[in-house]
């Protein structure tokens, strides 16, 4: 995996041989500002268009913020459109443990579901790798 972008809130990595783009939330992100979140989403969208991965994995385990309704729609429209035109086949989402955060995240990801790729939710990273047909650390 090659790290393509990292800040105090997120890490975005890519594996060429697995055609896998990953985004993992980290740090103290509960008070992330809307503009910072938008910058991260724009960067992720640009990387989807540039790299054209067949698989995406978003790890929301350490996500502490709630997607507002306007952000949910904006994220779904921008990222969903990029993933659809770039040939993404599978989108795996590792869900956060807190119920309210999980619900806002699920609503955001569900907006993507009308697109041209399959979406599935997981609690464990290994289950997501299995569904994506990926052997970790290979």
Q: How far apart are CA 55 and CA 57, in angstroms?
A: 7
Domain spans, the chain: 2-131
What's the CATH architecture for 2-131? 2-Layer Sandwich (3.30)
Q: Does residue 72 register a pLDDT over 90? A: no
> What is the overall mean pLDDT for the chain?
87
Q: Does residue 110 register a pLDDT over 70? A: no
Q: Which of 55, 61, 66 is nearest to 105 (CA)?
A: 66
pTM: 0.88
Strand partners, 10: 25
Average pLDDT over residues 31-42: 93
- Mean pLDDT check: name the lowest of 57-66, 76-85, 96-105: 96-105
Helix (H), strand (E) at residue 66 = none
Q: Does residue 44 register a pLDDT over 60? A: yes
Q: What region, left, alpha or beta, does residue 133 occupy, with left being phi > 0 and alpha being psi -120 to 50 degrees?
A: left
Q: How confident is the model at residue 115, as a pLDDT?
A: 60
DSSP 89-133: -EEEEEPPSSHHHHHHHHHHHHHHTTSSSEEEEESSHHHHHHHTT
């Amino acid at each position: 995996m090659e790290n393509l972008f990292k800040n105090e809130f997120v890490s975005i990595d890519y594996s060429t041989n697995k055609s896998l783009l990953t985004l993992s939330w980290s740090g103290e992100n509960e008070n992330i500002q809307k503009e910072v979140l938008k910058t991260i989403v724009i960067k992720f969208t640009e990387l989807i268009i540039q790299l054209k991965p067949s698989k995406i994995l978003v790890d929301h385990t350490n996500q502490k913020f709630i997607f507002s309704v306007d952000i949910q729609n904006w994220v779904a429209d921008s990222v969903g459109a990029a993933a659809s035109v770039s040939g993404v086949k599978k989108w795996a989402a590792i869900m956060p443990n807190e119920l309210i955060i999980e619900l806002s995240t699920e609503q955001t990801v569900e907006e993507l579901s009308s697109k041209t790729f399959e979406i599935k939710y997981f609690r464990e990273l290994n289950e997501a790798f299995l569904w994506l047909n990926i052997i970790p650390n290979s």
